[in-house]
A and B are shown apart, each in its own frame.
Chain A
Amino acid sequence: MPWDRNQMAARAAEELEDGMYVNLGIGIPTLVANYVGDKDITLQSENGMLGMGPFPFEGEEDPDLINAGKQTITELSRTSYFDSATSFGMIRGGKIAAAILGAMEVSEEGDLANWMIPGKLVKGMGGAMDLVAGVGRVIVVMDHTNKAGESKVLRACTLPLTGKAVVDRIITNLGVLDVVPGGLRIVQLADGVTEEELRAATEATIVA
């Protein structure tokens, strides 16, 4: 059985170490927060907050307190607030240890496409381009194939890029791959997934 969304998030949470400042993207990456356990992780929200807490209880929503996905959230005892220029200063300046992001396509050279589909989806990159250019480590969490069954792990991205040669590790429903010289290296197979199945679902070059 390939991993489901929660299993992928749990696997991504294993990437995080005590003391890290981390930025989580929208979608499956948001679920990673549920699996950090006892680790001392500080979540950054790029609209100007370090120390993001869980969703508020019903009736306690504060319109002045949202995350980068515009969802109402809460603060923690460690929380600090700052403006957007300061927020991206810490992102661009390499102070954020890791970003866990979703993707439409990833290439074997670590190129990432996750912000637009020409003619179809024109929403904008938000903070994704700054994050992938600036943070210490970029981890992509996504399904290995799209709804049509085509590989999202490609030799070269077909969609406009969010960043060039920026991805370090790819976690999909089929397993974990690292971007290394010459292509991708299989780090781990999802439970019950064979190497043949993963290779068949991957267009990118897999190196030994």
Chain B
Amino acid sequence: MKKVYATADAALDGLLHDGMFIAAGGFGLCGIPELLIDALVRSGVKDLTIASNNCGVDGFGLGKLLDTRQIRKMISSYVGENAEFMRQYLSGELELEFNPQGTLAERMRAGGAGIPGFYTKTGVGTVIAEGKEVKTFDGQDYILERGIVADLSIVKAWKADDTGNLVFRKTARNFNPPAAMCGRVCVAEVEEIVPRGSLDPDLIHLPGIYVHRIIQGSHEKRIEQRTTRKKETA
């Protein structure tokens, strides 16, 4: 089966429909599927529910899909970097489901691993627990959280081979593996597609079984908070 596609638009062809549920990798602007997000903007698909830790910034990353009003609902842990997000949320145009970061990651992992629900201490005694089953194990309360299965996953990796084996780079790995796992279909964009056999099989971060389509492209990789220190002068 051929997994490599020429463009992001071609890789998404036939996978999109209004009202669909998409899981996206990335943390802040680090390791986000920039090219696939741009292709979603061009496709015009709308009423999207997107599970992603953040929602980009104004005009970049998932923020682009806010500008075009293509998102109906976000499932996120932190959305503080985005004025348009706040405006749409406070005016009731955009629905928001806050998930604690680890709960969101585990919901994706679990969904992809065939686990429909799991119990966690995270959020016990807070608004996050409202309406959720509480179960006591060994004298401690836990709440039931559901696994996520998305119609489509969009992720960004560093390298892939043509079978979809992925390798990530540094902290750009973040939500990409669990997001990839939870999609019925996963499209990955990478910086480089390398020949089969050139990735060390012991060092594959995400096996190709989770990845159905791949594109290669160049990434802007915008930095959200550029922090540096001065070199000490002798």
Chain A contact residues, CB within 8 Å of chain B: 45-49, 54-67, 69-73, 75, 81-85, 87-89, 91-92, 111, 122-130, 133-134, 160-165
Specify the chain A residue showing the minimal Cβ separation from B181.
A85
Q: Label chain A's interface by main secondary structure.
A: loop
Assess the B225–A134 pair: CB atoms within 8 A: no
Q: State whether A125 and B176 are in contact (beta carbons under 8 Å apart), knowing that A47-B171, A64-B30 are contacts in the complex.
A: no
Assess the B171–A124 pair: CB atoms within 8 A: no
Q: Is residue B208 within 8 Å, beta carbon to beta carbon, of the partner chain? A: no
Chain B contact residues, CB within 8 Å of chain A: 27-31, 53, 76-81, 86, 89-90, 98, 100-106, 108-109, 120-128, 158, 168-178, 205, 221-231
Assess the B101–A65 pair: CB atoms within 8 A: no
C-alpha gap A123/B71 in the complex (Å): 18
B226 proximity list for chain A (CB < 8 A):
61, 72
Assess the B77–A71 pair: CB atoms within 8 A: no
C-alpha gap A160/B97 in the complex (Å): 15
B120 proximity list for chain A (CB < 8 A):
92, 133
A124 proximity list for chain B (CB < 8 A):
76-80, 98
C-alpha gap A189/B22 in the complex (Å): 52
Assess the A46–B101 pair: CB atoms within 8 A: yes
Q: State whether A84 and B175 are in contact (beta carbons under 8 Å apart), knowing that A56-B228, A63-B30 are contacts in the complex.
A: yes
B230 proximity list for chain A (CB < 8 A):
57-58
Given contacts A55-B229, A162-B126, 5 further A-B pairs with CB under 8 A are: A48-B173, A67-B171, A71-B227, A72-B227, A84-B104
Among A48, A54, A55, A69: residue with most chain B CB under 10 A: A48
Assess the B126–A122 pair: CB atoms within 8 A: no
Assess the A63–B102 pair: CB atoms within 8 A: no
Among A46, A128, A129, A165: residue with most chain B CB under 10 A: A129
Q: What is the distance, in angstroms, from B165's C-beta to the closest C-beta of chain A?
A: 15
Assess the A130–B100 pair: CB atoms within 8 A: yes
